[in-house]
Structure 1
């Protein structure tokens, strides 16, 4: 008993020390603690951290976990201790065996085998793993099973479940219900959100074991890579993620899109294109390197297969110029020439082409008849980017003006098609730029991850139209948080 009391005292003292290093107020700590499953009230936590009260071991460990997650963000090494031994977070022993089983199990494996491979990897860690993939509209999480045995009724709603919260926030969420203790772990491929892992554990204490959480993150990232890779070999993942059949036009565009989210160093870009099953001519693309981010959002006129072909040709021309190392002028001119030669003068696309220097934040852009891009800073629109004008591409681009602006760290760059601002309700009232900026102001204040802001925006635009979109709606959001460093810099 005395050992337990001594351990509790040591833990309480470490919490006070770590809390100072974490630069957290008691209120901030309490909110973080509640967010990962804590149950004690504010006054109880306040008394505990000031040495005036005690908490049960599990609640102490959740509090320590909340502080340590903040310290991880600050990369500080002096952490709060736990009331019991926890798993080793280093890649050895069971954790190493789990990773090896996952790698060996997917060698020459068809996509259908991934659920059983994940289950075998989980057994090496002493847990049970189920993969849930998000549908392409990002509305529900569907368990990954063979299409012939999958139960569509077992899907989990993104907006109303704890699994959905893990997906939205890209943070592990613990759950202790009658179904048993489990962790909901975001399934990620880099910055791309693919779904969640349901990790069933034997003990409630395991829910706040930091070593287990680290091990689950490793499995999540490796499984995320496998989902992306194996999706090129078969259709089982697409069948899981599709709620209704896509049109041929939609299939054409979706086959050309990059991952919805990607990031390098201090830059993240995310895009959403809706409605995903009747999409006509909207598209987006990006390319990221050590020094530069290149972006494009475009919209071809029409609502049939021809508009999809035009958009596909524009994307291909943009990539061709980009792969050759050409800049914005050459990219715009090649798109213009390609569309004009293949489809004639009556066809064109509007587009914004942009290039961001990741060291300086210098943004250069061309607007070919498209809605003006926006820069948001501290929740407010700095100013619409109204320069960089030229005619829509395909109709003879003529003179090209390149606009320029310098971003500050944390600025949000907003590129969208007119399916966002011109989305109208039954009375004909457009969603408009004012609603767009008000929405972004609210959502950025809550500090949602960038892909979650994009998902919520598309949902708001669809809701504005009473769930019956009349046109494509595409949003591309990019945030530059800090200058990139040259390779080898310290």
Structure 2
């Protein structure tokens, strides 16, 4: 840090004071308000070059004069005793993050790709943003018409693994990294160094991870008040029931140190009668699914009402049985017929407890084996619940699924089946990827025509 000589500071301050149109008394009052302790006589002597002052008092005087000059809007400002660094970084990772934050401030969602491109230039990078469509089959470029298939491309592999990869094809070495909002996969970033840097450099990868994390948050936040990016993620029209249900759903992925949750629903653009929910805390993971059965125009209202009643009771601190009763009262008032299952997992002990109402019981996978299926309750929310408890082991997977998932028939009438469902939950796949692959396999099995919505919530317990 470079300090200005005291004599030079005094000379420049006196010149600025002369232009400030302040009297000695007015300057002293401003200086005193800033915390100054020198007398008016000492201040007068300093301004006239007859004495010295401690550095802190000199700087408070300079600040008092500068406040006045700011009011006059124009004259040069008085110097401080030491040089002040520029508050905004001029290059490097901090500048990139600052540029991204400042550029996104009050920016409409569709401007984010340009904002992140500008931030990338501070790191000598060219950055492109790809977002996953709602079917999670395609990655669509946010600022052009370019598309990448999730199943067959390097970018898609990065999305599926929530990881990174480097390609060496033209136009040059490219780093691909997943775009995350917390733990939810939103898409991928295409990052091309423009200064010849090695995309395998660990420091560069770390800097890109920071940008990706911040951008993921900005994508989610801006989508809440604008449609620009949301429209890019849609590959076709989404009906009003599906619009209502998607607005009611939590993120497709959630996680804490003790549990990872992934979910998926199909048909994504014509969702009609299935919703899911989860809530994670330090001690518990609460999971729920509601199913209105065959696809009808009124199905969405029944499951949304059930979901709202469940959330209201849960957030009031109600017990699992009280949450169940609250849903039953809501459905009785509306006359809707909805099945469901409410589950609660103790993240310390591994105790899983659930109440099902005419719904398939949770499917539990331990390693490559499936625990025996418990008997499903034959009644809906209108009857007293029957509680079931299971003690999980670390690494166990729990899945809540809809009637239309395991029960989806192919053209010959053969159901997808519980065993085939369990097969997608073995092998250690990440819950969000297991859920994505499972629902897409169900759609394929049904020939693209689902009689009932297929939904699944997958949770893996990983105690600390």
Q: Shared topology, TM-score over 0.5?
A: yes
Aligned positions of 1:10-409 closer than 5 A: 94-145=92-143, 150-151=144-145, 154-202=146-194, 206-343=198-335, 347-386=336-375, 389=377, 391-393=379-381, 396-397=382-383, 399-409=384-394
Does structure 1 retain, via aligned residues, the 8 Å contact 2:261–2:459?
A: yes
Distance 2:194 2:101 in 1: 25
Partner of 2:452: 471
Does structure 2 retain, via aligned residues, the 8 Å contact 1:249–1:304?
A: no
Does structure 2 retain, via aligned residues, the 8 Å contact 1:176–1:204?
A: no
Distance 1:433 1:323 in 2: 32
**Aligned-partner SS, 1:383:** coil
Distance 2:423 2:140 in 1: 32
Distance 1:468 1:357 in 2: 38
Question: Aligned-pair distance for 1:449?
Answer: 2.2
Distance 2:160 2:340 in 1: 30
Does structure 1 retain, via aligned residues, the 8 Å contact 2:126–2:194?
A: no
Question: Aligned-pair distance for 1:471?
Answer: 2.0
Does structure 2 retain, via aligned residues, the 8 Å contact 1:365–1:404?
A: yes
Deviations 1:24-64 (A, max 9, x none): xxxxxxxxxxxxxxxxxxxxxxxxxxxxxxxxxxxxxxxxx
Partner of 2:442: 461
Does structure 1 retain, via aligned residues, the 8 Å contact 2:124–2:195?
A: no
Distance 1:204 1:174, change over 3 A: farther
Deviations 1:82-134 (A, max 9, x none): xxxxxxxxx99611111111111111111121011101110111101111000
Deviations 1:228-287 (A, max 9, x none): 111101111221111111111111101100000010112011110100122111000011
**Aligned-partner SS, 2:371:** strand
Does structure 1 retain, via aligned residues, the 8 Å contact 2:424–2:437?
A: no
Distance 2:196 2:450 in 1: 45
Deviates more, 1:286-295 or 1:203-212: 203-212
Does structure 2 retain, via aligned residues, the 8 Å contact 1:166–1:184?
A: yes
Q: TM-score with structure 1 length normalisation? A: 0.74
Distance 1:204 1:156 in 2: 25
Distance 1:203 1:410 in 2: 44
Computed over aligned residues only, the root mean square deviation of the Cα atoms, in angstroms, reads: 1.7
The answer to whether the aligner puts 1:421 opposite 2:402 as a matched pair is no
Does structure 1 retain, via aligned residues, the 8 Å contact 2:295–2:453?
A: no
Does structure 1 retain, via aligned residues, the 8 Å contact 2:263–2:456?
A: yes
Distance 1:406 1:204 in 2: 54
Distance 2:195 2:440 in 1: 38
Distance 1:128 1:462 in 2: 38
Question: Aligned-pair distance for 1:435?
Answer: 1.5
Question: Aligned-pair distance for 1:302?
Answer: 4.4
Does structure 2 retain, via aligned residues, the 8 Å contact 1:375–1:385?
A: no
Question: Aligned-pair distance for 1:438?
Answer: 2.9
Distance 1:358 1:301, change over 3 A: same
Question: Aligned-pair distance for 1:482?
Answer: 1.1
Does structure 2 retain, via aligned residues, the 8 Å contact 1:361–1:480?
A: yes
Q: TM-score with structure 2 length normalisation? A: 0.78
Question: Aligned-pair distance for 1:400?
Answer: 1.8
How many residues align? The count is 376
Does structure 1 retain, via aligned residues, the 8 Å contact 2:250–2:278?
A: yes
Partner of 1:452: 433
**Aligned-partner SS, 1:195:** strand
Distance 2:199 2:188 in 1: 16
Does structure 2 retain, via aligned residues, the 8 Å contact 1:390–1:400?
A: no
User: Larger radius of gyration, structure 1 or 2?
Assistant: 2
Deviations 1:325-373 (A, max 9, x none): 0011111111111111122xxx321111001111111111001111121
The answer to whether the aligner puts 1:433 opposite 2:421 as a matched pair is no
Q: Which runs of 5+ in 2 are unaligned?
A: 1-88
Distance 1:400 1:200, change over 3 A: same
Deviations 1:415-449 (A, max 9, x none): 100111111111111111122123333xx2xx432
Distance 1:230 1:428, change over 3 A: same
Distance 2:322 2:351 in 1: 19
**Aligned-partner SS, 2:341:** strand
Does structure 2 retain, via aligned residues, the 8 Å contact 1:169–1:448?
A: no
Does structure 2 retain, via aligned residues, the 8 Å contact 1:288–1:294?
A: yes
Distance 1:385 1:122, change over 3 A: farther
Question: Aligned-pair distance for 1:203?
Answer: 6.5
